[in-house]
Amino acid sequence: MFINLKGGIYLDKIIVSGQCSKIGKTKFIEETINNLCGKIFALKAAVSEDKDDIIISVEEDLKNNEEKDTGRYLKAGVIKAAYLKSNLNNLAEGIDKIEENIEKDYDYKIYEGNNIIDFINPTFVIFLKNDNLEKKYSADKASRKADIIIDYSNGKKDIIFNTESIICYKAHLLADILGVSVGRIGKLLNEADIKIKGCQLGLF
């Protein structure tokens, strides 16, 4: 979250996408929720082409939801969590229905899924990759739009910057998402020869 000098609040929208269903997106989001400070909403969007209807579940009580992904979000610390399942044609409508019926004063909204990237204007996009696993049809699109790719192929968490430059604010946001220092992100950016733009305070 960024508060400008005039008192306005900018909502950060973070999308976590991935190569396949078992890549660890929900676990990564749990870790992100633990790292962030503020009021957080999380939404998991699943696409199933054999569904004509829209399934929506919005939860704020951990009871009876502990084994669900929404329960995992809630346990990690979100104020409210939602699950959406529809075919691709109805995905935008489902997102709109959820957004219309939740509070507007969140500091962060975190979205899990690949196809949702076509209907959200995100602040930051993360793509999880593992060459040892299968690849979904939507993976290429999501990886192209990612700010960073986190590669687990070698059993480590290798960060690949998917851009030639990054604005200072997004570099700070990445540090918050990963729960590391700004200096650590600065070192990674320097090692990858990524230019940092708009940094007036000399923090990198």
pLDDT mean for each 10 residues of the chain (204 residues): 44 96 95 97 93 90 82 96 96 96 92 96 97 93 96 93 94 96 94 89 58
pLDDT at 2: 46
**Residue 103 in domain:** yes
**Residue 105 in domain:** yes
**Residue 166 in domain:** no
**Residue 136 in domain:** no
Angle between helices 69-76 and 25-35 (to 10 degrees): 20
pLDDT at 6: 34
Helix, strand, coil percent values for the chain (each to nearest 5): 30, 25, 40
Domain that residue 120 falls in: 11-126
- The angle subtended at Cα 168 by Cα 24 and Cα 29, nearest 5°, is 15
**Residue 6 in domain:** no
Residue 83's φ and ψ, nearest 5 degrees, are: -125, 135
pLDDT at 104: 82
195: its two tokens: 């230019």
**Residue 119 in domain:** yes
**Residue 86 in domain:** yes
**CA–CA distance, 75 with 183 (Å, rounded to integer):** 30
Domain count, the chain: 1
pLDDT at 49: 84
Cβ of 141: how many Cβ atoms within 10 Å? 15
161: its two tokens: 């910057």
**CA–CA distance, 161 with 119 (Å, rounded to integer):** 23
**CA–CA distance, 99 with 45 (Å, rounded to integer):** 13
pLDDT at 204: 59
**Residue 177 in domain:** no
pLDDT at 8: 38
**Selection from 165, 121, 113 nearest residue 141 by Cα:** 113
pLDDT at 175: 96
